[in-house]
Structure 1
Amino acid sequence: MSTTSIHPRSYAPTSALPVAFLGLGVMGSPMAGHLAQAGHQVTVYNRSPAKAQSWQEEFRSGHSAVTPREAAAGAQMVFCCVGNDDDLRAVTLGDDGAFAGMQPGAIFVDHTTASAEVARELYAEAQKRGLHFIDAPVSGGQAGAVNGQLTVMCGGDQAAFERVAPVAEAFSRAFTYMGESGAGQLTKMVNQICIAGLLQGLSEAVAFGLRANLDMPKVLDVIGKGAAQSWQMDNRAQTMVVGKFDFGFAVDWMRKDLGLVLAEAKNNGARLPVTALVDQFYADVQDMGGNRWDTSSLIQRLR
C-alpha cells in the first residue's frame, strides 16, 4: 500500500513530538498518517495488530505497540478514534489502558463520537491521575480525514486545548474550543441533528422531482445556487438521483450517533421530533440491508 491513501498537504511548522494514536480505522489511519507526515514521532495501536503493521509499512514511520498502555508510554499527546463508549473505556482504563502508561501532564485527545457522559467520566479520571482529557469529535468524514481537512469540536480545559491545537492542525482545517468537558461531544450532536434533517428533506425533494419527471441534475444545479444549497446537496444529491450509496458515512454509524443524541435529549429535555423520526427511517434502511450504505440512502425508502 502506498502513501496515496492520504493527500499530502502543507503542514504548519511545529516541534516534533512523541505522540500516540489509538484506533486505525477509516478515520484514524489517515489522521495518524498526517501526524507522521508532519514530522511527529508516532506510535500506533490497533485492536487488530495487522492494521498497525500495515500502517507502519504504508507510512514508513513510527512504531506499533501491542497495548494502549505501551503506545502511550512517553507520549506527550495520545490521540484516539475508536467506535463507541465501551471501546473508549477499553483503550483508556485498566492495567493495559492508555491512562496507565501516560506520564503526568500528558494529554489524551479523543476523536471518537461518544457520549458527553463518558467524556466527563474520563476527564474526571484523567484529572485524578494528573493527566488531561479533551473530547474532540470530528466532522468531515473519510474524505476530510484523508485530505487533512477535518472540523474538530473540543471540550475540556482550555490550556490543554491550546497545547494540542498546533499539533492537531496536521489533520484539521478547524480545531475549535467549545467549552468545558463534554462540550465537544454535545457540539457533534448538534451537527448530527442538522445532517439528519437535511438528508431527509433532500431525499424527499429528489424523490418528488423524479416522480415529476424533472431533469434532476439540472434542477439540482439551479437550486444549488440559491437558498436550498448545502454540503449535503453539493456532495450527495447527484448520487442520490442514481441510487449510489457504496461510500461515505454508514447508516449504522449514524444510528449510533442519533442514539447518543436522543439519550442526551432525554437528559436535558430537548424536543427532537424530526430527529427521532429520521432515526426510525434509518432503521427502515437497515431492514432493507443498507447498514453500510451512505446516510444519503434515506431516499431508498421513497423510491
Structure 2
Amino acid sequence: MSDLNVSFLGLGVMGFPMAGHLANAGYKVTVYNRTSSKAQQWLSTYSGVAQTNAIAKTPEEAAEGADIVFMCVGDDNDVREIGTRALSRMKSDAVLVDHTTASADIARELDAACRKQKVHFLDAPVSGGQAGAENGQLTIMVGGEEASFHRIQPVIKNYARHSQLLGKCGSGQLAKMMNQICIAGIVQGLSEALHFGQKAGLDCNAVIDVISKGAAQSWQMENRASTMLSNTYDFGFAVDWMRKDLGIALDEAKRNGSTLALTALVDQYYADVQKLGGSRWDTSSLLTRLK
C-alpha cells in the first residue's frame, strides 16, 4: 500500500505525529499547515524516511493527485474551509478522511459536497489524546461507506490501535460525542473523590492504588490521578477544546431530544476552570475548582 499518495492537512499536537506515522510506514506524504514553519518542522523531523515527503502551500495543492486526504483541524469552520478547498482539487474516487472532532452536521455537509464530485468521505474523529497519537495507539470512530472504510484501514492502522465503522456519515462524530460525555462525568467523579479523600486526611495515592484494581478503575484514574494530586495540568487535552466538544454534544442533544444534565453541569464547571486561568490546562484540572 506504500505506493499510495496521501496528504495530511493540519499538523497540530495530533496531526503532526499521525502524519509522521504514515511517513515512517513508507507512504509518500504531502502535508499542509496554516503555519508554514510547523510544516517545515514536520518535514525536517521525517526527512530520513525512504519516501519523498513534501510540503504544500495550500490545501488545494496538498490534495491534488492524492489517493487519500486526511484532515485534523480545529472546528466546524476549519473543516468547512479546509475540506472544501481540498475537495476542489481532489481526483475522482479519492477518499477524504476527517479526523477533526466536529459536528455531525458538518460531516454530512462535506459528505454531500464530496458525492457531487465523486469523492468518498469518512468522518473519523479520534480518541487517545496526544500520547495516543504519538504512540500510534488511537481509537478511531468512523462514519461513512463500508468500502471506503476498508480502503483506509491499512493506512490508519499505522496510528490506531482500533478503528470501527459505526454507521452512515455522521456516526463517527456522534460516537465521539458519547466519548466526551463519558469523559466529562468520569473526570468530575474522580475530582470529587480525590477532593473527598484529601479532606478526610487519607493518603490518596495509596487509595488510588487500591481502588484502581477494582470496579472504580478507569483510564482517567490510571493516567491522571497522580498528576491531579500533584496539581500538574500543563499538558494533555486543553479545557478550551473540551468545552468545544461538550458544546457540540449539548447542541446535538437539543436536536435529538436527549437529556444531558450531568454533561451540562460539568461544562459549566469547566467554565469555572477557564475563569481560574486554566483554558489551556488538561481536562483533569476540574479538581482545581474544588480547592
| TM beyond 0.5 | yes
CA distance in structure 2 between the partners assigned to 1:244 and 1:26 by the alignment:
19
Give yes or no for contact 2:2–2:28 (8 Å, CA) kept in 1.
no
1:4 alignment counterpart:
none
**Alignment partner of 1:52 is 2:39:** yes
1:158-169 equivalences under 5 Å are 158-169=146-157
Deviation at 1:50, TM superposition (A): 1.0
Structure 1: give runs of 5+ residues left out of the alignment.
1-13
Match of 1:238 among 196, 213, 226: 226
Match of 1:26 among 13, 26, 36: 13
Question: What is the DSSP-based 3-state SS (H/G/I as helix, E as strand, rest coil) of the residue aligned with 1:280?
Answer: helix
Show CA shifts across 1:6-64 (max 9, x none): xxxxxxxx343100000000000000000000000000000111111111111005000
1:71 alignment counterpart:
62
Give yes or no for contact 2:142–2:165 (8 Å, CA) kept in 1.
yes
Q: Tell me which amino acid in the other structure corresponds to 2:248.
A: L
- TM-score, scaled to structure 2: 0.98
CA distance in structure 2 between the partners assigned to 1:169 and 1:84 by the alignment:
24
Q: Tell me which amino acid in the other structure corresponds to 1:47.
A: R
Give yes or no for contact 2:99–2:126 (8 Å, CA) kept in 1.
yes
Matched residue count: 287
Structure 2: give runs of 5+ residues left out of the alignment.
none
Deviation at 1:100, TM superposition (A): 0.9
Show CA shifts across 1:202-252 (max 9, x none): 000000000011011100000011110000000001111111101100000
Question: What is the DSSP-based 3-state SS (H/G/I as helix, E as strand, rest coil) of the residue aligned with 1:173?
Answer: strand
- TM-score, scaled to structure 1: 0.94
1:88 alignment counterpart:
79
CA distance in structure 2 between the partners assigned to 1:113 and 1:144 by the alignment:
15
CA distance in structure 1 between the partners assigned to 2:2 and 2:11 by the alignment:
24
Match of 2:27 among 23, 32, 40: 40
Match of 1:200 among 159, 166, 188: 188
Identity of aligned residues (%): 61
Question: What is the DSSP-based 3-state SS (H/G/I as helix, E as strand, rest coil) of the residue aligned with 2:13?
Answer: coil
For the aligned residue pairs, the C-alpha RMSD in angstroms reads 0.7
Moved over 4 A (4+): none
